[in-house]
Structures are given as structure tokens and as C-alpha cells.
Structure 1
């Protein structure tokens, strides 16, 4: 009997903004068939972002209502916008579909680790400062927001030693392959292709 194979894990992709953690996370999630738990955000969607796919974009008033009710297990403010994860969303997703994944900044990853303990596996995704800055500029993000994110780069990088695993992200396919293999050891599903 192996209780480990029945565990429902919370996989957290973290690292500096611009490291590609969202692209990597969504690719790994699709590869392994894991459900995604979305954060809530009070800001407007950026180019290419879709409500209900990247975040739940909500009004500040609704966010405040959730926050006052104690629904967020993680709630932070960045550049006058608020971001949060509802505990009920995580619990419901775990019940419905087994292991799940989230994309969070290091503060959020730490809060989840404190709340859920060994059920959380943190994957730190990173690239060098120049690459991260170029990716954000190429994505058409406002220069002031890029600068604000770059001001947080060193703080984000400092979180790497606390994570269970770290992956350099310069080649998406290679990174996704490495992470998928690493997670298979946790999930212990011995996947086989089906028609």
C-alpha cells in the first residue's frame, strides 16, 4: 500500500515576474492533466490575458467583500492592485480533480506552504535579470510596471532556496519536460497513453 500515490498535491509555480512561470505552469498543467486554481485580481487584464483563464478579474468592491469575509488565504497589493487566492477554490478543486496547480509570487507561495504544509510542492522558475526584463518589455507591459517588477527581482530570487525544486527557464520545452518528470515522482501515476 502506498498512501503517497493517493495524495492530492498543491503545486505552486513561483519566481520573479517575467521568468515564464505562467507559460511553464500552464504547459505542465496541461501535460499532467492538473486543474488550475486562479487568483483574483482587481486590475484590468493585460494584453493577451483572459478573464477566467489567467485570473478572475473582479472589482475592488467585490474583492473587499471577499476579504472582509476572510475568504482569501493569500491577499497582497502590488502597484495599487490587489491579488488573492480563496481557500474554498483550492479545497473544491482538490476534491473535484486531485492535484492542482497555482501561479503565485514568493509571498503567496510561502503563505500556502504555511497553510497546507507538505501537501504543497513549490517550483521556482527563474531566468537572469536581463532576460526577465526583455520578456516583460516584449509582452508590451507598461514600462513603469516593468520597472516596479524589476525592483522586486532580487527579493523574488532570494526565495529560491526555500522551494522544493528550482528550474532555469530559457527553453520552454526543456523546462516543461524536466518539471513534468519531477512531478511524476510526486504523483506516482505511471501515465500511459490512451486512445
Structure 2
């Protein structure tokens, strides 16, 4: 098992579906050269999602086998589908890079916070309900999927006060800039003024 170092950080992007967490997370991840830890999921890919890049899409049977082997640190069921994060994936990435990021709902974010404590920095992204709905329609999601997401909206929004930081996300560039500045404080990359 990997022994966490003082400087290791686990950045969790959370918030309602349609809040733009994925777009912001990828932009921030690129800025800092962070690796994404990819969840395993039993649902089929949505329009534009790529296996091994957005999620590892697996069968219910394969998921159950991994669960029986205690591979998942975190496993949640949402609308009849299972989502899980392997502890090994987090620890291998931390060992190699010292920092990782994940995109999760509030249940997963809570579980990681309990396991890793102050190593986890939860960044809550949000937009109003109408904007979230419009974004999901533009993605081409089925009406029942959008309805299910909107059904979770208030519960996800209720998690905002539990997170270390919250960002209203209407402009990708601005939100990425704000989060990058916030994370600089945590990373303290030894930026020394040599004047």
C-alpha cells in the first residue's frame, strides 16, 4: 500500500450533472499536469463519451466481481447503475505524480474525504437549474436522463457548503482561472522570486 506524502493532493470536482465539472476538470488538470482517475460504471456511454477516457464502461457482472475482490474504495448506485473508484488507481497515480483529480457526485466525494482527510480538496461547481438543463439538451441526452439528473439537482446543490471551495460556472475560461489560482495555494510549487 502506498504511503501518502505531505504534498500529495486529491482534487475532487463535484456538483450537479450539467454543472460543467468535466470540462473544467480537464482544463485544470491540463494546466497542472494532473492525471485523472477514471471511474468504473455499469451504464452505457452517453453521446460523446469514450471508454477509458470518460469512464471504464463495464458489465454488471464484471463490476460485481471487482466489488467481491474489494477493488473499489468507493461504490455507489445511481438510477440502477453502479459507479466505483479503485483505490489502486488513486494510489498508483499519487505515487507517480503526487496529485490526481476525479469527477464525482457528492456521495463519492464524501467517501474519499473520509478515507484521505485533508489530502482531498473538494471543488464544487454549479449553475442554475435552467442552464444545467440547457447544457444537457445540447449534449443530446435523452429526456429521461435529463429528468433523472434534475431530480438529483437539489440534493447535489445541498452539498455545496460541505466542500472546501465552490465556483459558479457560466464561463469555462473564468472558472478555470479562478480554480487554478485557488489550487496554487495548495500546491505551493516552490515558485521563488530570485530578485
Which segment drifts farther, 137-146 or 68-77? 68-77
Runs of 4+ in 1 over 4 A off after TM superposition: none
1:134 alignment partner in structure 2: 134
1:7-156 equivalence runs, <5 A: 7-156=7-156
For the residues of structure 1 that align with 2:20 and 2:70, how far apart are their CA atoms? 31
Tell me if the contact between 1:40 and 1:84 (Cα under 8 Å) persists in the aligned partners.
yes
- In angstroms, what is the RMSD of aligned CA positions? 1.4
Q: Matched residues in 2 for 1:40 and 1:26: separation?
A: 18
CA distance in 1, matches of 2:190, 2:145: 43
Please state how far the C-alpha of 1:112 moved relative to its aligned partner. Answer: 0.4
SS state of the match for residue 152, structure 1? helix
Q: How many residues align?
A: 188
CA distance in 2, matches of 1:190, 1:139: 40
User: TM-score under structure 1 normalisation?
Assistant: 0.93
Give the aligned partner of residue 161 of structure 2: 161
Establish whether residue 170 from structure 1 lines up as the match of residue 170 from structure 2.
yes
Unaligned regions of 5+ residues in structure 1, if any? none
Q: Deviations over 1:69-123 (max 9, x none)?
A: 1111111112221110011110111001111000000010000000100000000
Q: Report what 2:180 is aligned to.
A: 180
TM-fit CA distance, 1:135: 0.5
Deviations along 1:34-71, one digit per CA (max 9) or x if unpaired, are 11100001111111111111011111111101111111
Question: 8 Å contact 1:74–1:84 — kept in the other structure?
Answer: yes
- 8 Å CA contact 1:10, 1:100 repeated in 2: yes
Relative to the length of structure 2, the TM-score reads: 0.93
Equivalent pair of 1:184/1:190 in contact (CA under 8 Å): no
Unaligned runs of 5+ in 2: none
Deviation of 1:185 (Å): 0.7
